[in-house]
Amino acid sequence: MKQQLAKIKLLALDVDGVLTDGTINIGSNGEIFKGFNAKDGLGISCALRYGLEIAIITGRFSEIIHRRAGELGIQHLYEGVKDKYAALEKLRTKLNLEQQEVAYMGDDLNDLPAFKAAGVTFAPADAVTEVAAAAHVVTASCGGRGAVREAVEQLLKAQGKWAEVVASYQESGQGDRQ
């Protein structure tokens, strides 16, 4: 698996159940809030700083996701996606990547098509049974509780970059957003 992880140049993520715990808070005027994990955010910031592309592919539309993506510097945001396979293939082609250079993390049945477009697949610990069974890697953490951070760390460790990430923080802060 380490050799497969070392090839990854793009990590694409679902939102609800991956970047969040899956709770959707809706008031009379629409979506009110989502909870994000700061460790996931710092992991994404490190991934971007060390050369990994990060994408969000979600079936929902949310101003909150726009804001979070902007805070973290995520440039590839696909919302209202019905066919996550097609969206990931489109992005892969746009970035001129091979399938084995793409990773995807999802937690529910609607993520299974995207698994077919990725060389490596991740699922958080609380993913539905079918998704966990289809994933190459199931994290110890649940969605919205550090699962993305675990995936990023595994990727950067396999690519020999994690020690450099840690060393950079031992020297000084990096100004990363969480």
- Whether the pLDDT of residue 136 is over 80: the answer is yes
- Whether the pLDDT of residue 31 is over 80: the answer is no
* The pair of three-digit structure tokens given for residue 10, joined into one six-digit string: 């793009």
pLDDT at 48: 95
How does residue 32 score in pLDDT terms, banded at 50, 70 and 90? confident
Percent of the chain with pLDDT over 70: 96
pLDDT at 21: 92
**In this structure, are residues 156 and 47 in contact, taking their beta carbons and an 8 Å threshold?**
yes
Q: Please name the residues in contact with 41: beta carbons below 8 A apart, sequence gap of 6 or more.
A: 71, 72, 177, 178
For residues 22 and 76, give the distance between their C-alpha atoms in angstroms, rounded to a whole number: 21
- Whether the pLDDT of residue 96 is over 70: the answer is yes
Tell me the per-residue pLDDT of 101-130, one tens digit each, with 9 for 90 and over: 999 999 999 999 999 999 999 999 999 999
Most confident residue range from 67-71, 164-168, 171-175? 67-71
How does residue 63 score in pLDDT terms, banded at 50, 70 and 90? confident
**In this structure, are residues 95 and 53 in contact, taking their beta carbons and an 8 Å threshold?**
yes
Find how far residue 63's CA is from the centre of its chain.
Answer: 18
Picking from 114, 151, 155, the residue whose alpha carbon sits closest to that of residue 131 is: 114
For residues 60 and 13, give the distance between their C-alpha atoms in angstroms, rounded to a whole number: 13
Instruction: State the average pLDDT over residues 88-106.
Output: 97
